[in-house]
Structure 1
Amino acid sequence: MRHDLTTLNLVLAIEQTRSITRGAAQEHLALAAASKRLSDLESRLGVQLFERRARGVEPTEAGRALVRHIRSLHASLYALETEVMEFSRGIKGHLRIASNTSAIAECLPPYLVEFSQAHAQIRISLEDLTSAEVQAAVAEGRADVGVFTAPVLDNRVQTWVFARGRLAALVPLKHPLANREAVSFDDLLAYDLIGLHAGASAQELMREQAAARGKTLNARLQVRGFDGIAQLVESGLGVAVLPEHPAERFTRVFGVRALRLEESWAERDYYLGVLRQQRLPTVVQRFVDTLIPREKQ
């Protein structure tokens, strides 16, 4: 079923103005022509899009659903136009990367710098998602490459391990554990834990480990971003588990101490993932080459 943009824009205008007459005027259409377009669209879809009332019209549930999709379509068209216009300014490609927060904070930036310097005419966009969301974005074509931690959930995604990191504990300077060099997860479970939002890989890992011990994770606060976690730890609201490198950096900025987390699962791999296909697009292959030596691909 095909729909022309003029009719879809008319639906949006009618929804915005709550009037077929004003919507038609906004789209520079005669009222009779606008009414026919709307009637034909409702017939093709088999649903009523607007309820006619004494003082105008109101969208039905079907109408509201269609308006949401039209707005999404407008956003996609704008992105398409913007990206294509970039080629006239010398841009030779666009690489869409989805990554979890830990990789962005711990291991990804040096690779982005290396790739950007070697391919200055390729535009990079980076989206911060959970590891599960990263894999879904790659599998569904919403991202060209993904960077995430285990588990690997989607067999449509081809993966390589490209870096390794560790988790560390973060505690306030005056905390009872602050005089130690290392702690176990059992030590931390005695206190309120400040973590990332639900779905973040480290947060889910801690829930699993607590459950395996028959304990409940006292997730007092959950926030987006490691900076916010570090500030809350400094305030004495709890302890946290973060990637080791950002945790060490926070000790130079906030009143916190980073401690080694003595657990086998504290060491974890970072995966690079792409959609399985016989031949990768050139831009994607160049990024893979930056992270993964050819002999390991």
Structure 2
Amino acid sequence: MNLVLAIEQTRSITKGAAREHLALAAASKRVSDLEARLGVQLFERRARGVEPTEACRALVRHIRSLHASLHALESEVVEFARGIKGHLRIAANSGAIAECLPADLAAFLQAHPQIRISLEDMTSAEAQAAVADGRADVGIFTPPVLDNRVQHWSYRPARLAVLVPEDHPLADRSAVTFSDLLDYDLIGLHAGASAQELMREQALARGRTLNARLQVRGFDAIAQLVEAGLGVAVLPEVPAERFSRVFKVRLLQLNEPWAARDYCLGVARQERQPAVLQRFVESLCPQSKVDQTAPPRRDPSDNQDLQNRKPA
């Protein structure tokens, strides 16, 4: 595979063979053998070298992906020699990262310093898919749960709030409804973010259109755009309250039933979770320890005894 990559990059079997320290005849035979095994032509021979076919380009994409995976594998295994005892890959939505997850991660790492954690910011749907497909060990997201391959527990309650500019017509209120906001431009996260999709659904339910003219990545960018008077925003209450102390914006309560929501913690369904993962789940969701306890198994003879009993 390294030979194929070298030839694709140099556009020459001769140069590719030299880079991999192979004789030209040996390199040619390896390419021919691989083409025979795959049943496709990888390179078109030309007067001034070779040109990769579409099949070769597809193969090269996989080779590069394998190289990246092998590098990650090596890096992770080397960490065990340095005293690391486990690695957790966490995919979480922006709200959980901004509201509650950092403190819980810090507490867990303080109690388990030999465990390494990788955290990636994803939408709720992406986090669930990453867990279901095995690209993440843990997902933190808001409902609904979209994949039955994901086992989940309630993690933390949360609430959405509203930010408006200080001189906005709604700024003198303490609370607003979602209908109050639909007359103004709404600043939100990128498409696919759970709060953004929820607002779109709520607007449609009211027969209105969501004026989502500005969509950015990051709550701090949203707060700055609100301060500049470019619109209003609905975002998690904890970062919203924090921004109200930093920027020239007002924090308003959102009087809607759907403003109260929960963050969920999800893992892939399997009969037995790895010890490190189970410890993490129980740390963030103590109720999971009870949920995972299997019900007592009934002795098969009990069923036979019931069948043999005659009514009195």
> Aligning the two structures, in what range does the TM-score lie when normalised by the shorter sequence?
over 0.9
Residue 123 of structure 2 corresponds to residue 130 of structure 1: yes
Matched, 1:54 2:60: no
Given residue 147 of structure 2, which amino acid in structure 1 is its aligned partner?
Answer: D
Distance 2:130 2:105 in 1: 19
* 2:243 aligns with one of 241, 245, 250: 250
The partner residue of 2:90 within 73, 86, 97 is 97
Contact 1:147 1:270 in 2 (8 A): yes
Letter in 1 for 2:252: L
**Paired letter, 1:211:** L
The answer to whether residue 14 in structure 2 is matched with residue 21 in structure 1 is yes
**Mapped contact 1:171–1:233 kept (Cα < 8 A):** yes
Could you tell me how far apart the structure 1 residues matched to 2:10 and 2:171 are?
A: 61
- The correspondence for 1:9, drawn from 2, 27, 40, is 2
Alignment equivalent of 1:172, drawn from 155, 165, 170: 165
**How many residues were matched structurally?**
290
Tell me which residue corresponds to 2:31. 38
User: Identity over aligned residues, as a percent?
Assistant: 79
**What is the alpha-carbon distance in structure 1 between the residues aligned to residue 224 and residue 216 of structure 2?**
11
Deviates more, 1:202-211 or 1:58-67: 58-67
Higher deviation after alignment, 244-253 or 47-56:
47-56
TM superposition shift of 1:242: 0.5
* Residues 105-149 of structure 1, C-alpha deviations (whole Å, 9 max, x = no match): 111112101110110000000011111111111111111111100
User: Any residues of structure 2 matched to 1:1-297 within 5 Å, and which?
Assistant: 8-293=1-286, 294-295=289-290, 297=292
Residues 8-67 of structure 1: CA deviation (Å, up to 9, x unaligned): 011111111111111111111111111111111111111112222232222221111111
Contact 1:114 1:290 in 2 (8 A): no
SS at match of 2:246: coil
Q: CA RMSD in A?
A: 1.1
1:295 Cα deviation from its structure 2 partner: 3.6
The secondary structure found in structure 2 opposite 1:127 is strand
Quote the offset at 1:70 in angstroms: 0.6
The CA distance in 1 between the partners of 2:91 and 2:158, in whole Å, is 18
- Helix, strand or coil for the counterpart of 2:245? coil
Letter of the aligned partner of 1:145 in structure 2?
Answer: V
Cα distance in 2 for residues equivalent to 1:141 and 1:74: 19
Q: Is the 8 A contact 1:251 1:258 kept in 2?
A: yes
Q: CA contact under 8 A between 1:14 and 1:24: conserved in structure 2?
A: yes
Whether contact under 8 Å (1:210, 1:217) holds in the other structure is yes
Amino acid at match of 1:182: A
Q: C-alpha offsets along residues 174-204 of structure 1, whole Å, 9 cap, x if unaligned?
A: 1111111111111111111111111110011
- Kindly state the Cα deviation for residue 237 of structure 1 after the two structures are TM-superposed: 1.4
Look up the match of 1:5: none
Distance 2:240 2:44 in 1: 57
Secondary structure (helix, strand or coil) at the match of 1:286 reads helix
Larger radius of gyration: 2
C-alpha displacement of 1:296: 5.3
